[in-house]
Structure 1
Amino acid sequence: MTGFLSRRLLQSLVVVLLVTVIVFILLHLLPGGPARALLGPRATAVAIENFNHRMGYDRPLPVQYWDWLTQLVTGNLGFSVKFNQPVVSLIGERLPKTLILTVLSTVLALIVAIPLGMAQAVRRNEPTDYAITFWAFVFYATPPFFLGVVLIVVFSVYLPILPAEAPQSSSILVILSQPAGLILPVLTLSLLTIAQFSRYMRSSVIESLAEDYVRTARAKGADERTVLVRHVLPNSLIPIATLLGLSLPTIFSGALITEAVFNFPGMGQLFWTAAQTQDYPIMLGITVLVGVVTVLGSLLADLAYAVLDPRVRYA
């Protein structure tokens, strides 16, 4: 396990380094360069020259990359042109709000999807299985913005019982004190995730039910509930652990479309605003952060496989 962990950490560092190279190249591939992108199309040649000299863009690219990488290591992700703030402070302000939204939706999805997937597997090819499969496909194929709008129309217009807008505050305590405003955005994300997780859970449980240890447990006289809870469920959760690891980028970066629909002040809305205003330091900073979290999620998923599945052996 130690050797495997060391190799995976080394691979992760290489991938993160490649992500920084790609992001740095994208910055310099902007039409007209970073100066033109940040100053606008009407900037004069003198203004662009002064900007490049002040920001160090007139130096050799390897030198620029090394300086940019050392700043990244120290936590400096650049400076936002629109908000006139460091990108790190903006991310630090928005990230806790996004974590509230995405973690709540992920936990709710797990609570609902795991029993649904097991029920489908136990009642395979029965009306219950067909009904859950139908709705899972419907929600999985529905775009997030459309689902959010439908929920707003139903629960905020025709049945005005929930607010159409998420809580608007810079304080986490204020957001948590308004749970009604979180219901629709959390439900929008949860319905999409439930559809995905339940399908994986169904397939995993069906595969586990055909294993020898299940037949052995039944032959020893174990009732169906004991077989499902003590034997089938732990082994069937392995694919879900992988999905959770691969879901970390979404949890940290925020649901861009959902946050925009409900005007939720999180990471997704921050990226949306930066894209509309061409605030490239924010977009590149969030891209680097999501790349690092993606690599971390993949590493955690591999470790979860090694811990949860005794059949897996890493040479």
Structure 2
Amino acid sequence: MARFLVRRVLQAVIVTVIVTVIVFALLHALPGGPARGVLGQQATPEQIAAFNRAQGLDQPIWTQYWHYLGRLVQGDLGESFTLNAPVSQLLANRLPKTLLLTMASTVVALLIALPLGVWQAARRNSVLDYTATALAIIVYSTPVFFLGLILIMVFAQAIPLFPAQAPQGDALGDILADPNALVLPVVTGAFATVAAFSRYMRSATLDNLAEDYARTARAKGTSERRVLVRHVVRNSLVPVVTMLGYYIPVMFGGSLVVESMFNYPGVGFLFWNAAQTSDFPVLLGVVLVIAIATVVGSMLADIAQALIDPRVRSVAV
């Protein structure tokens, strides 16, 4: 098990470094570069050259990356070009709000998706099962921004039950003080997750209903409902919990779209503003956080799967 853990951690570190190299190179290849985004289209070549010298952007690309990597190890993500604040401080202030939105969407999605998947499996091949499957496919294939737009049009304009703008504030307490304004962002973020995990749960439940232990329980006279509730559901949660580790980074990335739509003061909205102003350190810092979340989520999912199923551990090692 120790070798397995060391191997997964080393893989996570290597992938993270590769991601930083790719993103760093792509952002530097953007037309005009950071100087043009900060100083504007009217900036003179002399002003751009002075900006590049002040920010160290006139050095070779790999020298810039090496300096950035050294600062990153020390927890220094640089200074924002437009907000005049350390990027690490900006992320520290906004990351808890994004985590709140992501976790709330995840909890809501699982509370709906898991019972829905079991219900579909118990009524497999029925009209209701086919209907729920079709709706899940439609929702899953619909872009998040379009789902959010529909919710705003229906529940903020046609039927004004909830505000179209998310709660504002510098602290989590300010966000939680206005729960009514959190409804639309949370529901928007939960939609695609409900569609995905209801399918996972349905498939896992159907597989376990066909196992020998389920047939044995039925042969002993146990009712189908009791077999489903007492035995099948618990075993069906194992692959779903494992898949959750892989899917959390996806939901974290999706929250970037949700935050920009509802003006939610999280990391996603920070990224949106930084993209509009070509604030290079902020862009790189946010992308790095998402990359680390993806790598850590995948690593935790692998570890959870290895702890649950020793066969996975033996094959990986």
Could you state the TM-score of these two structures normalised by the residue count of structure 2? 0.91
* Counterparts of 2:275 and 2:64, CA distance in 1: 24
* Counterparts of 2:254 and 2:195, CA distance in 1: 19
Shift of 1:149: 2.2
Partner in structure 2 of residue 6 of structure 1: 6
The code of the aligned residue for 2:39 comes to L
Shift of 1:177: 1.6
How does 1:220-235 map onto structure 2 within 5 Å?
Answer: 220-235=220-235
Partner in structure 2 of residue 65 of structure 1: 65
Partner in structure 2 of residue 118 of structure 1: 118
How does 1:149-168 map onto structure 2 within 5 Å?
Answer: 149-168=149-168
Task: Tell which deviates more after alignment, 157-166 or 214-223.
Answer: 214-223
Partner in structure 1 of residue 288 of structure 2: 288
Q: Deviations over 1:51-90 (max 9, x none)?
A: 3332233334443322110111112112212222111111
Partner in structure 2 of residue 76 of structure 1: 76
Partner in structure 2 of residue 135 of structure 1: 135
Task: Tell which deviates more after alignment, 119-128 or 50-59.
Answer: 50-59
The code of the aligned residue for 2:240 comes to I
* Counterparts of 1:277 and 1:15, CA distance in 2: 28
Q: Deviations over 1:268-295 (max 9, x none)?
A: 1111111122222211111111111111
Q: Deviations over 1:69-122 (max 9, x none)?
A: 011111211221222211111111111111111111100111110111011111
How does 1:1-315 map onto structure 2 within 5 Å?
Answer: 1-253=1-253, 255-314=255-314, 315=317
What RMSD, in angstroms, separates the aligned Cα atoms of the two structures?
Answer: 2.1
* Counterparts of 2:4 and 2:200, CA distance in 1: 27
The code of the aligned residue for 2:303 comes to L
Structure 2 unmatched runs, 5+: none
Q: Deviations over 1:189-247 (max 9, x none)?
A: 11221011101111111112222232233334444344323432233223322332123
Task: Tell which deviates more after alignment, 274-283 or 284-293.
Answer: 274-283
* Counterparts of 1:195 and 1:44, CA distance in 2: 51
Task: Tell which deviates more after alignment, 133-142 or 82-91.
Answer: 133-142
The code of the aligned residue for 1:170 comes to D
The code of the aligned residue for 1:266 comes to G
Could you state the TM-score of these two structures normalised by the residue count of structure 1? 0.91
The code of the aligned residue for 1:51 comes to F
Task: Tell which deviates more after alignment, 157-166 or 193-202.
Answer: 157-166
* Counterparts of 1:30 and 1:130, CA distance in 2: 46
Task: Tell which deviates more after alignment, 248-257 or 270-279.
Answer: 248-257
Shift of 1:296: 0.6
Task: Tell which deviates more after alignment, 186-195 or 133-142.
Answer: 133-142
Structure 1 unmatched runs, 5+: none
